[in-house]
Structure 1
Amino acid sequence: MAPAHAQADEGEGAQGRIVFVTARRVAEAQDAVPISLVRLDATDLERRGVARLADLAGVVPNLAMPTVGAFGAQQPIMRGVFSPIGASTVGLYVDDVPVQIRSLEVAGNPDLRRFDLDRVEVLRGPQGTLFGADSMGGTIRVLTRQPQLEGLDAWAGAELSSVRGGGLGREVQAALGGAIVPGRIGARISAYHRRDAGVVDRFDPASGALLARNVDHDATLGLRFAVKAALGDRLELTPSLFYQRTARGDLPFYESSLGPFRQSASLRQPGRDRLLLPSLTARMDLGGATLTGVTAWLDRRNRQIVDYSGFFGEIVLGGMVPGIRTPGGSYSRTTVDQAVFTQELRVASADPQASVRWLVGAFYSRSRIAMEQGVVEPGIADLAQSQLGLSVEEIFGLPLLPGGQSYHSRQQIRERSLAAFGQVNWAFAPRWEVTGGLRLSHNPLRFRLMSEGPFAGGSNAVGPRRQSDTPLIPHAALSWRPGGDSLVYLSAGKGFRGGGTNGAVPANGCAADLSALGRAAAPDSYGSDSLWSYEAGVKAGLPDRRLRLSLAAFRIDWRRIQQSVTLPNCGFSYVDNLGAARNRGVELALRSEPSRRLALDFSLGFVDARFRRDVGPPGAGIVAAGDRIPYVPRWSGTMAAEYGFTLPGRLEGFVRTEWRHAGRFRRAPSTRSTAYDPRVYAGEGSDLLFLRLGIGRDGWHLSAFADNLLDSRTVLYRNAELVPATGSPLREMTQRPRTVGLSASIGL
Structure 2
Amino acid sequence: MLKRTMMISLLAGCAFAPPAYAKSEPAAENGGDIVVTAQRRESRLQDVPQAVTAFGSEALERLAIRDTESLVRNTPSLTFTPVGPGESNVGLRGLTTDLGLAPSVAVYINDTPFDFRTDAYSGTPNIDLFDMQRVEVLRGPQGTLFGSSSTGGTIRYITNQPDSSGFDAHGEAFVNSVKGGGEGYGAKAAVNVPLSANAALRLTGTYEKIAGYIERYDATLAGLTSPQSDDDIVEKNANDATIFSLRGALRLEAGDDFIITPSLFFQRIDADNPIATQSNLPGFGRASAIGPEPSRTDLLVANLTLEKSLGNVELVSSSSYLHKESDATLDYTALGYNILGEFAPFASLTPAKADTYVQELRLTSSNDGPFNWIAGVYFSHTDQQLGQIFVGQAFTDLLDATFGPAPGPVGPVSYDYIQKTSDQQLAGFAEVNFDVSETVELIAGLRVYRLKNTLEASCTEVVPGILCGADTPRVTAKKTSASPRVTVNFRPNSNTTLYATVSRGFRAGGANAAVPPALGCSLAESVGAIFSPDSVWNYEVGAKVETPDRVLTVNGAAYRIEQKGVQLAIPDPCGSTFFANAGDARIDGAELEVSLRPSSHVTVSGQLSYADARFTDVPDLFGAAAGYAEGDRTPETPRWKFALSSELRYPVSDAWEVYARGSWQHVGKTPFAIDGVVSSGRFRPAYDMANFDIGGESGGVDVSLFIRNAFDKRGILAVGSGAVSTIVGAYENVTYAAPRTIGLSLRIKG
Q: TM-score with structure 2 length normalisation?
A: 0.90
Equivalent runs, 1:600-615 vs 2, <5 Å: 600-615=604-619
Deviations 1:215-250 (A, max 9, x none): 101101111111111111310101111111110110
| Distance change (3 Å), C-alpha of 1:37 and 1:675 | closer
Q: Partners in 1 of 2:322 and 2:30 — Cα distance?
A: 40
Q: Partners in 2 of 1:315 and 1:485 — Cα distance?
A: 66
Q: Partners in 1 of 2:30 and 2:139 — Cα distance?
A: 28
SS of the residue corresponding to residue 728 of structure 1 reads coil
Q: What residue in structure 2 maps to residue 269 of structure 1? A: 293
Matched, 1:304 2:328: yes
Q: What residue in structure 2 maps to residue 421 of structure 1? A: 429
Q: How well do the aligned residues superpose, as a CA RMSD in angstroms?
A: 2.5
1:566–1:573: 8 Å Cα contact kept in structure 2?
A: yes
SS of the residue corresponding to residue 146 of structure 1 reads coil
Q: What residue in structure 2 maps to residue 295 of structure 1? A: 319
Q: What residue in structure 1 maps to residue 662 of structure 2? A: 657
Deviations 1:337-373 (A, max 9, x none): 110111111110124x431111111111122111111
Q: What residue in structure 1 maps to residue 10 of structure 2? A: none
Matched, 1:579 2:579: no
- Cα offset for 1:257? 2.3
SS of the residue corresponding to residue 313 of structure 1 reads helix
Matched, 1:240 2:263: yes
1:95–1:144: 8 Å Cα contact kept in structure 2?
A: yes
Q: What residue in structure 2 maps to residue 51 of structure 1? A: 66
- Cα offset for 1:399? 6.6
2:55–2:136: 8 Å Cα contact kept in structure 1?
A: yes
Q: What residue in structure 2 maps to residue 499 of structure 1? A: 509
Deviations 1:49-103 (A, max 9, x none): 32222332211121111247x9997311100012314110100001000013101
Matched, 1:286 2:310: yes
Q: What residue in structure 1 maps to residue 733 of structure 2? A: 731
Give the share of equivalent positions with the same residue, in percent.
29
Deviations 1:274-333 (A, max 9, x none): 01111111111101111111111101101111111111122344xxxxxx642xx21111
2:201–2:248: 8 Å Cα contact kept in structure 1?
A: yes
Q: Partners in 1 of 2:634 and 2:651 — Cα distance?
A: 49
2:31–2:552: 8 Å Cα contact kept in structure 1?
A: no
**Aligned AA (1:78):** L
Equivalent runs, 1:193-272 vs 2, <5 Å: 193-206=207-220, 208-259=231-282, 260-272=284-296
Q: What residue in structure 1 maps to residue 3 of structure 2? A: none
- Cα offset for 1:159? 0.8
Q: Partners in 2 of 1:550 and 1:401 — Cα distance?
A: 67
**Aligned AA (2:474):** P
**Aligned AA (1:599):** T
**Aligned counterpart for 2:119 among listed residues 99, 104, 107:** 104
Matched, 1:336 2:352: yes
| Distance change (3 Å), C-alpha of 1:747 and 1:676 | closer
**Aligned AA (1:197):** A
- Cα offset for 1:625? 0.8
Runs of at least 5 residues in structure 1 that lack an aligned partner in the other structure:
4-10, 318-323, 385-389
Q: What residue in structure 2 maps to residue 715 of structure 1? A: 716
SS of the residue corresponding to residue 65 of structure 1 reads strand
Equivalent runs, 1:493-532 vs 2, <5 Å: 493-509=503-519, 511=520, 514-515=521-522, 517=523, 520=525, 523-532=528-537
Q: What residue in structure 2 maps to residue 42 of structure 1? A: 57
Q: What residue in structure 2 maps to residue 542 of structure 1? A: 547
Matched, 1:485 2:495: yes
Q: What residue in structure 1 maps to residue 471 of structure 2? A: 461
- Cα offset for 1:462? 1.3
Equivalent runs, 1:341-490 vs 2, <5 Å: 341-351=357-367, 353-380=368-395, 391-394=401-404, 403-453=411-461, 454=463, 457-458=467-468, 460-490=470-500
- Cα offset for 1:115? 3.1
- Cα offset for 1:381? 5.1
Q: Partners in 2 of 1:28 and 1:464 — Cα distance?
A: 46
Q: Partners in 1 of 2:433 and 2:665 — Cα distance?
A: 37
1:452–1:460: 8 Å Cα contact kept in structure 2?
A: no
Equivalent runs, 1:116-127 vs 2, <5 Å: 116-127=131-142
| Distance change (3 Å), C-alpha of 1:430 and 1:458 | closer
Q: Partners in 2 of 1:237 and 1:403 — Cα distance?
A: 54
**Aligned AA (1:340):** T
| Distance change (3 Å), C-alpha of 1:147 and 1:73 | closer
Q: What residue in structure 1 maps to residue 179 of structure 2? A: 164
- Cα offset for 1:622? 4.6
How many aligned positions are there? 711
**Aligned AA (1:561):** V
**Aligned AA (1:692):** D
| Distance change (3 Å), C-alpha of 1:71 and 1:720 | farther
Q: Partners in 2 of 1:301 and 1:234 — Cα distance?
A: 38
SS of the residue corresponding to residue 379 of structure 1 reads helix
| Distance change (3 Å), C-alpha of 1:730 and 1:414 | closer
**Aligned counterpart for 1:595 among listed residues 561, 586, 599:** 599
| Distance change (3 Å), C-alpha of 1:674 and 1:289 | closer
**Aligned AA (1:358):** W
- Cα offset for 1:252? 1.3
SS of the residue corresponding to residue 373 of structure 1 reads strand
Q: Partners in 2 of 1:429 and 1:391 — Cα distance?
A: 82
Q: Partners in 2 of 1:149 and 1:444 — Cα distance?
A: 43
Q: What residue in structure 2 maps to residue 191 of structure 1? A: 205
- Cα offset for 1:401? 8.1
1:433–1:480: 8 Å Cα contact kept in structure 2?
A: yes
| Distance change (3 Å), C-alpha of 1:522 and 1:198 | farther
SS of the residue corresponding to residue 367 of structure 1 reads strand
Q: What residue in structure 1 maps to residue 696 of structure 2? A: 695
1:71–1:306: 8 Å Cα contact kept in structure 2?
A: no
SS of the residue corresponding to residue 315 of structure 1 reads helix
**Aligned AA (1:433):** E
SS of the residue corresponding to residue 418 of structure 2 reads strand
Equivalent runs, 1:146-161 vs 2, <5 Å: 146-161=161-176
**Aligned AA (2:518):** N
SS of the residue corresponding to residue 56 of structure 1 reads helix
- Cα offset for 1:498? 1.4
- Cα offset for 1:726? 4.1
| Distance change (3 Å), C-alpha of 1:375 and 1:354 | farther
| Distance change (3 Å), C-alpha of 1:401 and 1:73 | farther
Q: What residue in structure 2 maps to residue 80 of structure 1? A: 94
| Distance change (3 Å), C-alpha of 1:676 and 1:222 | closer
Deviations 1:23-43 (A, max 9, x none): 011110111111111111223
Q: Partners in 1 of 2:209 and 2:141 — Cα distance?
A: 35
Deviations 1:571-628 (A, max 9, x none): x311001110000100001112223311221110010111112323384455311011
**Aligned AA (1:493):** S
- Cα offset for 1:733? 2.2
Q: What residue in structure 2 maps to residue 8 of structure 1? A: none
Equivalent runs, 1:621-636 vs 2, <5 Å: 622-636=627-641
SS of the residue corresponding to residue 724 of structure 1 reads helix
**Aligned AA (2:504):** K
- Cα offset for 1:478? 0.3
**Aligned AA (2:218):** D
- Cα offset for 1:413? 1.3
Q: Partners in 2 of 1:237 and 1:622 — Cα distance?
A: 55
Q: Partners in 2 of 1:43 and 1:325 — Cα distance?
A: 55
2:455–2:513: 8 Å Cα contact kept in structure 1?
A: no
SS of the residue corresponding to residue 55 of structure 1 reads helix
SS of the residue corresponding to residue 617 of structure 2 reads coil
**Aligned AA (1:605):** S
Q: What residue in structure 2 maps to residue 7 of structure 1? A: none
SS of the residue corresponding to residue 46 of structure 1 reads helix
Moved more, 114-123 or 48-57: 48-57
2:68–2:127: 8 Å Cα contact kept in structure 1?
A: yes
